[in-house]
Structure formats: C-alpha cells, structure tokens
C-alpha cells in the first residue's frame, strides 16, 4: 500500500515564539513545515524559491510590512493551489468576512486548543472549510450570501 502524502505547511506569523511552537507542534503531528516566516512579503519572496509549494498556508493577520489581508490576496493570485488557514486573535465580523472574500478556507482563533489547528489543516487538505466554533456563524452566513464567489 502506498504511503499517504505528508501535508506540507507554511507558517506566516510575526511572533517568533509562536512560529517555533507551531512548527514543533505541526511536525510532531506528522505534518511537514516547509516554510516559516515573519511576514507576508517574506512569504511571497520565499515561496518563489521552494521546489515544492505547501499544501496549506497558516496565516496571521496582524503583521508588519505585509499584513494577512494583502498576503492572502497575493497568495490567491500567485498560488491559487495553496489553501489558506487564518490563525488570528481577530474575531470581528469585518476581519472574518474580508478574509473569506479573499478566498480563505479556514479561520482558527489563537487561543483555540492545538488539536483544533490540526483538525483545520486536515479538513482544508481534504477540500473542506474549517472555522472556530465562535466565528462559524459569521463565516457560514458570509459563505451562504456569497456562494457564487468560491
């Protein structure tokens, strides 16, 4: 039987301690982190140099130089095959709706249990959406209103 392909991940997060923690957790969970950078500009520049693009991009919103909104827009335009998973503390409707309008497939709030992030990565890789429970109402409402977008 063929071994299942390992899910590859990029982490775009400005807090280095959180980036390292995410990388350790994800690799321990048998995912492969192929890129971890502190902002969107570094991500876009670095992705051009990778031999294999990540399946999933875990993206913070509040970052210096290039924030998560601009990064999601650039990723969607340049690398439409990469699924974007927002990992942010922003739980307001505007942030959620804006990220969904940019093609984001998942949104997990910082402070969620680590297993939620792992589940989100798996769901996105399977072609599904995933949202933290507390924001799922906003996300589902937006997707229903805009079902012709994605």
Give the per-residue pLDDT at 19. Answer: 86
Contact 109, 132 (CB under 8 A): yes
Give the per-residue pLDDT at 55. Answer: 95
Q: Is the CA virtual torsion 88, 93, 94, 98 positive or negative?
A: positive
Give the per-residue pLDDT at 1. Answer: 36
Beta-carbon contacts of residue 142 (< 8 Å; ≥ 6 apart): 96, 97, 100, 101
Tens of pLDDT, residue by residue, the chain (150 residues): 344 578 999 999 999 888 888 888 887 777 998 999 999 999 999 999 988 899 999 999 999 999 999 999 999 999 999 999 999 988 888 888 899 899 999 999 888 878 888 999 999 999 999 988 888 777 778 777 876 654
75: which 2 tokens? Answer: 């990723």
Give the per-residue pLDDT at 2. Answer: 42
Contact 116, 88 (CB under 8 A): no
Give the per-residue pLDDT at 4. Answer: 59
Contact 141, 100 (CB under 8 A): no
Give the per-residue pLDDT at 148. Answer: 60
Give the per-residue pLDDT at 121. Answer: 93
């Amino acid at each position: 039987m063929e071994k299942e392909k390992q899910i590859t991940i990029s982490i775009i997060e400005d807090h280095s301690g959180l980036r390292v923690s995410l990388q350790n957790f994800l690799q321990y969970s048998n995912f492969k982190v192929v890129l971890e950078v502190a902002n969107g500009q570094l991500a876009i520049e670095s992705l051009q140099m990778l031999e294999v693009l990540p399946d999933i991009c875990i993206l913070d919103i509040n970052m210096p130089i290039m924030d998560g909104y601009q990064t999601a827009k650039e990723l969607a335009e340049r690398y439409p095959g990469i699924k974007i998973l927002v990992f942010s503390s922003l739980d307001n409707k505007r942030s959620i709706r804006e990220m969904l309008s940019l093609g984001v497939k998942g949104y997990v709030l910082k402070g969620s249990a680590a297993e939620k992030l792992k589940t989100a990565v798996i769901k996105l890789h399977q072609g599904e959406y995933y949202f933290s429970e507390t924001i799922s109402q906003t996300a589902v409402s937006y997707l229903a209103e805009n079902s012709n977008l994605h």
